[in-house]
Amino acid sequence: MRQEWEPEDLIEVWTLLEEDQERLRNKSGANRLGFALLLKFFEVEARFPEDAGEIPVPAVSYVAQQVKVAADEWVAYDWSGRAIKRHRTEIRAAFGFRECTKEDQAQLAEWLAVELCGVELNRDRLAEAVVARCRNDRLEPPTTGRIARLVGSAVSTFEERFCAATVGRLSAATRSRLDDLIAEDAGTDESAGSGGTFFTELKADPGALGLDSLLAEVNKLQRVRGLQLPPELFGDVSEKLVAAWRARAAKEYPSDLRAAAGPVRYALLSTLCHVRETEITDSLVELFIQLVQKINTRAEKKVEGEFNKELKRVRGKEGILLRLAEAAVAEPGGTVRKVIYPVAGESTSKALAAEAAANEARYRARVRTVLRSSYSGHWRRMLSPLLNALELKCNNTAYRPVMDAIDLLKRYLDQPIAKEGAFFDEEEKIPLAGGGARGVAQGGRGRARPGRAHPVRAVRARGAAGRPAAPGDLGAGGGTRRTICRRTSRTTAMCTTTRSASRRTRRSSSMPFRSGCARP
C-alpha cells in the first residue's frame, strides 16, 4: 500500500461508516484503534497487513481522530496475541471472506500451472494474479512468502508437463539426433564456448556478407531440418514461452545439457532448433536481398569507373559547337578535315562524341552486362541451394508470372543444362518478360520480342527424320523453341518462321532470332 495520502483520499478511503462504528462498541484503547485500521486496510487490499509498517502514518492519525484514541496507542497493539486473531476472524466474516486452506493453495497452484504459466513468465505478475483470484473467490490470500512458494511450485509443475509433452511428440530417431548435437568432442573446449561442433555453429549468426556465408546458412538450415522436428511441435504453446526456453538453451554449454534430465534436455534443444530454423530462414532472405544489392552496387561502381576513365569533359562545349555550326554553314561543300578540324581538332571531336554517347541508356545497358557477367561467373552458385532451401509463396496476382518461373526452375534444377539436349517439356508454360498472356509461351504461341534478347549458347532441337524431336520443335513452319539459358538459368523462347522473308528486316525475319533470354 502507498504511504503518501492526500486529505481528500484519506476522507474517501479511511472514513469509518456507521456500520464500522457499530463494530467498535466493545473495544477500547489500542485494540479499538488496531481493529479500525485492520478493518479499513482489509477493505482496500482484501488482505491483512503483515506488520504495522504497512499502514500509512497519515491513515493512523486520521483513524485515531475518528475513534478518539491517541495515535501513539497503535504501537501498543499486539500482533501475535489472541485479540488480533479474534479481530481477523470478525473482519473476514464482515466482508464474507474465509481463510485460505492448504486445499485452496493447491487449487491455486494448479490453476496457475494450467492457465497462466504458459503465457506469463514474470513471477511477480503471477503473484498478483493469485491475489486477484483470492479476492474474486472471497479468500484471504496467503502471506507474501507463501504466495512466492506457491508460484514456484506452479511453475515447476508446468515445466515438467511442458517437457513431458514435448518429449512425447518427438520420435526416437529425432531424440537421437538431438543427442548427437551435444555429443562430447574431446577436441573442443566447451567451457570457453569454442569448438567446431554443429551445436556451436547452430547458435552463431551469419558471417560476413558473401556467397560463402549464404551457402553456409543454407547448409545449416538443411541440417536443422534434417532433425525432423514435428511441424506442430509447439503449435499450442505461446511464442513467449518458446522464446524463453530458446534463450535459456543458447546460454547452456553442451556439457550442461548432457548433465540435464532427459525431458529438460530435449525440450531445450527442441526449442532452440525450432526457433533457429525460423531465424536461419529469415537470415537467408536478408542475405539474399543484401547480396542482390551488393551485386548491383558493384556493377554500378565498376561501370561508373569505366565511364569516368573513358569520358573527358570538354570545356567550352557550347562555344565549340557554335563555331562548328557556323563553319559548316559557311562552307557546306568542304571536307571535314578542311572545314571542321581547324575549328575543333580530331581529339576534341572524339571527346565531344564520347560525352554525347555516355547517356543513361548506355549506362544501364552496360550495368546489365556487368551484372550478367558477375552472376554467371560467380553468384549463380547460390541459385540451386537457395531454391532448394526456401519455399517461396505470394498471394499477389501481379507477381504470379515470377512465382511460376521460380516453380519452373525448381522443377528443372537437376537438369544438366550445360549439356546438349536440355529442354523443357513441351507441355510446360514458360513465363516470359511482361507477364500475362504475352508473358507465357506454350505450344508454339510464345515469341521472344526482337531487340530484347541477349546471346547465349544455342541448344538446338532435332527434328529431322531418324532423330528424336526435342520438345518445342515445330519444324520449319514456325513456332517456339524453348531452352534453358546456361548463363542465367532463365527460360527463353526462340521464334522460328518461314525461310522466305528477308534477313534484314528484324521484326519480320524468317530466320530464327539469336538464342537469348528475355529480360525481366
Give the DSSP letter string of 4-52.
---HHHHHHHH---HHHHHHTTT--HHHHHHHHHHHHHHHHHSS--SSG
- Within 10 angstroms of residue 137's Cβ, the number of other Cβ atoms is 14
The sign one gets for the Cα dihedral 117, 119, 121, 122 is: negative
> Three cell numbers at 214?
549464404
Nearest-angstrom CA–CA distance, 337 and 371:
41
Nearest-angstrom CA–CA distance, 354 and 314:
10
**Contact, 41 vs 34, CB < 8 A?**
no
pLDDT of residue 360: 65
Cα dist from 103 to 99, 107, 154, 409, whole Å: 11, 6, 14, 65
Query: Residue 495's beta-bridge partner residues?
Result: 480
Nearest-angstrom CA–CA distance, 491 and 184:
49
Nearest-angstrom CA–CA distance, 328 and 413:
61
pTM of the full predicted structure? 0.65
Amino acid at 210: G
pLDDT of residue 332: 85
- Within 10 angstroms of residue 196's Cβ, the number of other Cβ atoms is 9
CA 91 to chain centre: 55
CA 253 to chain centre: 26
The sign one gets for the Cα dihedral 312, 315, 318, 323 is: negative
Nearest-angstrom CA–CA distance, 405 and 520:
11
Ramachandran angles phi, psi of 127, nearest 5°? -65, -40
Amino acid at 457: R
pLDDT of residue 458: 26
Q: Which residues of the chain have pLDDT under 50?
A: 186-187, 191-195, 418, 434-520
What SS3 state is found at 315?
coil
Amino acid at 292: V
User: Please, where are the H alpha helices in 69-207?
Assistant: 82-95, 102-111, 123-136, 144-168, 172-181, 198-203
Nearest-angstrom CA–CA distance, 3 and 145:
22
Enumerate residues 6+ apart whose C-beta is below 8 A from 83.
31, 34
> Three cell numbers at 154?
506452479
Cα dihedral value 278, 281, 286, 291, nearest 10: 160
What mean pLDDT is reported for the chain? 77
Nearest-angstrom CA–CA distance, 429 and 404:
9
Nearest-angstrom CA–CA distance, 123 and 148:
8
Block residue for cell numbers 494450467: 114
**Contact, 77 vs 31, CB < 8 A?**
yes
Q: What is the DSSP string of 63-92?
A: HHHHHT--GGGGGG--SSSHHHHHHHHHHH
Nearest-angstrom CA–CA distance, 179 and 196:
16
Amino acid at 316: G
Enumerate residues 6+ apart whose C-beta is below 8 A from 350.
none
**How many helices (H) and strands (E) in the chain?**
20, 6
Query: Residue 431's beta-bridge partner residues?
Result: 440
pLDDT of residue 503: 33
Ramachandran angles phi, psi of 255, nearest 5°? -65, -35
Any idea what the Cα angle at residue 406 is, between residues 401 and 412, rounded to 5°? 125
Q: Which helix (H) or strand (E) holds 417?
A: none
Nearest-angstrom CA–CA distance, 394 and 403:
7
CA nearest 134: which of 168, 162, 92? 92
